[in-house]
């Protein structure tokens, strides 16, 4: 195709493209204007016309019409008018799904968020002294009671907490860390990168599978500021492994104490990045033992940091607990200001922590803990409830199709904690499985994500679509799943 020829034929096609205003006058849009804001409609029409122009330039034989552009722009406008950040129904069986927002908040936390967001609050106001207060005060006492630490501070997330600790205490100094703990958490959070960012000099010791106390001793110099222990929360090494506990690290650190004092050097700190931040002993509920924050403090760690929205089950936050002297320094670090929490997160965090004052209350009221520890029988009962819900909806389609659209049955499945927590821990669960007599699992999976008011995330396995009951939160969510599936089958008859 010579360029010249295409230019001539396309230009006439392109000239025939309608103006934005012309498309907006199309009957489809007259209808829409009542429900969708005009800027979204105009934007959708503009983008659709621009897209068609590119297509016409690429292909001289292509033709388009005002009707076609109106139809495409209409669909685009409907999609763009929806909120982008929406509720999702998680039927994957992965409890802490980072892509789906990790922890679901307890009702008590939600109420607290609404209460402080709807009006003014005591965010930085001390009512006892009628004076300016600190936002760091709201959770500190609770965190101390729950972990046994002297002091605490919460920032934007645990990645921020790690960065802040390293830059406050190890800038231009050495940090000793085991090669077995140099992890990437996902989304560009790598321990070596955080070291660089905080201008700490990383000193790697040991090997991937084994690190010994003597490795730390040998690596210690006058420039050593800190021993970093990282909980390898998203992977496991099995076989011949050995790592050095925080307790052993504190022994090593104190063995250097006198020598350093004589030289006028500060003590070596032991800091554990615990990742998940478990406040409850999971082994009491048939799950693997996950080190708790309290245990890390009891082992002698000077500082421990962990996430607010992993196993703790609250809002996104990074919590640092430890000695008062060190936490006070962190409170004055400029990062504490740059990475501070907003009032809604603080409200959620405080309310969630309050639930932990009673272990059984925490376990039943914090959705993350409830889903993790819910007994198999209870999950099976929920799966049966979901199956019945779906069956009832599908029965209403009998006029469309004499044959059932799908067969429904319960299957044993494995749920996971996810979010880099409890690695390798398989939680027995139950899912509703759909075997398709019409349509198929892949199309239905896509339909449920894209065409329902709230995306429904299921999982395809052996041509069946599975809905794990462990992460489906309520009867209302079950109803939505059932209606979504029904609409999928109904769409096959349109
Ligand atoms: C998850 C995790 C982080 C990052 O925490 P965020 O709260 O997601 O920023 C850091 N370290 C460890 C060991 C983790 O598991």
Cβ atoms of 203 and 177 closer than 8 Å: yes
Alpha-carbon distance 281 to 287, whole Å? Answer: 9
For a mutational test of ligand 1's pocket, the pick from 275, 308, 313, 368, i.e. the residue with the most ligand atoms closer than 8 A to its C-beta, is: 275
Q: Which residues pair with 154 in a beta bridge?
A: 319
> Could you count the other beta carbons within 10 Å of the beta carbon of residue 243?
16
CA of 276 to the centre of ligand 1 (A): 7
Pocket of ligand 1 (CB under 6 A): 157-159, 162, 185, 189, 230-231, 233, 273, 275, 307, 318, 420
CA of 272 to the centre of ligand 1 (A): 12
Residue nearest to atom 14 of ligand 1 (CA): 275
CA 316 to chain CA mean position, Å: 8
The terminus-to-terminus CA distance of the chain in angstroms comes to 41
Determine the 3-state secondary structure of 432 from DSSP. strand
Residuewise pLDDT in 10s, the chain (494 residues): 444 444 444 567 787 889 999 999 999 888 788 889 999 999 999 999 999 999 888 887 888 888 999 999 999 998 889 899 999 999 999 999 989 999 999 999 999 999 999 999 999 999 999 999 999 999 999 999 999 999 999 999 999 999 999 999 999 999 999 999 988 876 778 899 999 999 999 999 998 889 999 999 999 999 999 999 999 876 777 788 889 999 999 999 999 999 999 999 999 999 999 998 899 999 999 898 899 999 999 999 999 999 999 999 999 999 999 999 999 999 999 999 999 999 999 999 999 999 999 999 999 999 999 999 999 999 999 999 999 999 999 999 988 888 899 999 999 999 999 887 887 789 999 999 999 999 999 999 999 999 999 999 999 999 999 999 999 999 999 999 999 999 999 999 87
What spacing in Å lies between the alpha carbon of 155 and ligand 1's midpoint? 13
Question: Which residues lie across from 207 on neighbouring strands?
Answer: none
For residue 303, which of 277, 329, 325, 321 has the smallest C-alpha distance? 321
Q: By alpha-carbon position, which residue is closest to atom 13 of ligand 1?
A: 275
Q: How far is CA 441 from the centre of its chain?
A: 26
Q: Kindly give, in sequence order, each residue whose CB lies less than 8 Å from that of residue 268, ignoring residues fewer than 6 positions away.
A: 220, 224, 225, 226, 227, 252, 253, 256, 260
What gap in Å lies between CA 217 and CA 416, rounded to an integer? 38
Instruction: Evaluate the CA torsion angle 68, 71, 75, 81 in order and state its sign.
Output: positive
What is the structure's pLDDT at 456? 98
From the alpha carbon of 307, which atom of ligand 1 is closest? 7
Q: Rounded to 5 degrees, what are φ and ψ at 408? A: -120, 135
**C-alpha dihedral (265, 270, 275, 281), degrees to nearest 10:** -150
User: Which residue's alpha carbon is at the smallest distance from atom 6 of ligand 1?
Assistant: 158
Residue nearest to atom 5 of ligand 1 (CA): 158
- Put the strands of the sheet holding 427-436 in their side by side order: 406-415, 427-436, 464-468, 459-461
C-alpha of residue 159 to centroid of ligand 1, in Å: 6
Ligand 1 closest atom vs CA 316 = 7
Query: Which ligand 1 atom is the nearest neighbour of the CA of 162?
Result: 10
Of the candidates 189, 121, 19, which has an alpha carbon nearest to the alpha carbon of residue 346? 121
> Distance from the CA of 103 to the center of ligand 1, in angstroms?
14
Q: For the beta carbon of residue 445, count every other beta carbon within 10 angstroms.
A: 19
Kindly tell me the sign of the dihedral angle through the C-alpha atoms of 110, 112, 114, 117: negative
């Amino acid at each position: 195709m010579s360029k010249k020829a295409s230019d001539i034929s396309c230009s006439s096609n392109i000239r025939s493209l309608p103006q934005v205003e012309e498309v907006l006058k199309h009957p489809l849009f007259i209808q829409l204007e009542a429900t969708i804001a005009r800027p979204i409609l105009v934007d959708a029409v503009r983008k659709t016309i621009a897209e068609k122009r590119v297509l016409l330039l690429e292909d001289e034989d292509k033709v388009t019409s005002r009707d076609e552009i109106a139809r495409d722009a209409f669909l685009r406008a409907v999609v763009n008018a929806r909120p982008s950040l929406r509720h999702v129904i998680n039927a994957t069986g992965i409890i802490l799904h980072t892509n789906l927002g990790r922890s679901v908040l307890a009702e008590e936390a939600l109420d607290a968020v609404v209460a402080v967001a709807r009006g003014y609050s005591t965010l930085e106001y001390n009512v006892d002294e009628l004076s300016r207060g600190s936002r760091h005060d709201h959770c500190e006492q609770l965190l101390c009671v729950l972990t046994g630490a002297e002091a605490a501070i919460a920032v934007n997330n645990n990645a921020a907490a790690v960065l802040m600790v390293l830059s406050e205490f190890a800038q231009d100094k050495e940090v000793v860390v085991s090669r077995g703990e140099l992890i990437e958490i996902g989304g560009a959070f790598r321990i070596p990168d955080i070291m660089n960012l905080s201008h700490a000099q990383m000193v790697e010791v040991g090997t991937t599978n084994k690190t010994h106390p003597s490795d730390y001793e040998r690596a210690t110099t006058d420039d050593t500021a800190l021993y970093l222990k990282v909980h390898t929360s998203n992977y496991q090494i099995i076989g011949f492994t050995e790592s050095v506990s925080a307790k052993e690290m504190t022994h090593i650190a104190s063995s250097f104490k006198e020598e350093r004092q004589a030289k006028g050097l500060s003590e070596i700190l032991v800091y554990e990045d615990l990742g998940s931040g478990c406040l409850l002993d999971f082994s009491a509920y048939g799950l693997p033992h996950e080190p708790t924050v309290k245990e890390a403090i009891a082992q002698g760690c000077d500082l421990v940091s962990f996430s607010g929205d992993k196993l703790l089950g609250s809002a996104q936050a990074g919590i640092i607990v430890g000695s008062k002297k060190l936490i006070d320094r962190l409170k004055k670090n400029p990062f504490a200001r740059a990475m501070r929490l907003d009032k809604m997160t603080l409200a959620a965090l405080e309310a969630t922590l309050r639930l932990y004052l009673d272990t059984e209350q925490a376990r039943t009221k914090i959705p993350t803990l409830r889903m993790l520890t819910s007994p198999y029988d209870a999950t099976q009962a929920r799966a049966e409830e979901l199956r019945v819900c779906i069956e009832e909806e599908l029965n209403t389609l009998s006029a469309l199709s004499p044959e059932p659209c799908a067969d429904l049955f319960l299957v044993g499945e494995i749920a996971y904690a996810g979010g880099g927590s409890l690695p390798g821990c398989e939680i027995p669960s139950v899912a509703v499985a759909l075997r398709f007599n019409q349509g198929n699992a892949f199309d239905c999976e896509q339909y449920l994500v894209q065409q329902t008011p709230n995306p429904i995330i299921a999982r395809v396995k052996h041509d069946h679509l599975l809905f794990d009951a462990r992460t489906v939160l309520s009867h209302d969510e079950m109803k939505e799943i059932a209606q979504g599936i029904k609409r999928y089958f109904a769409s096959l008859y349109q």
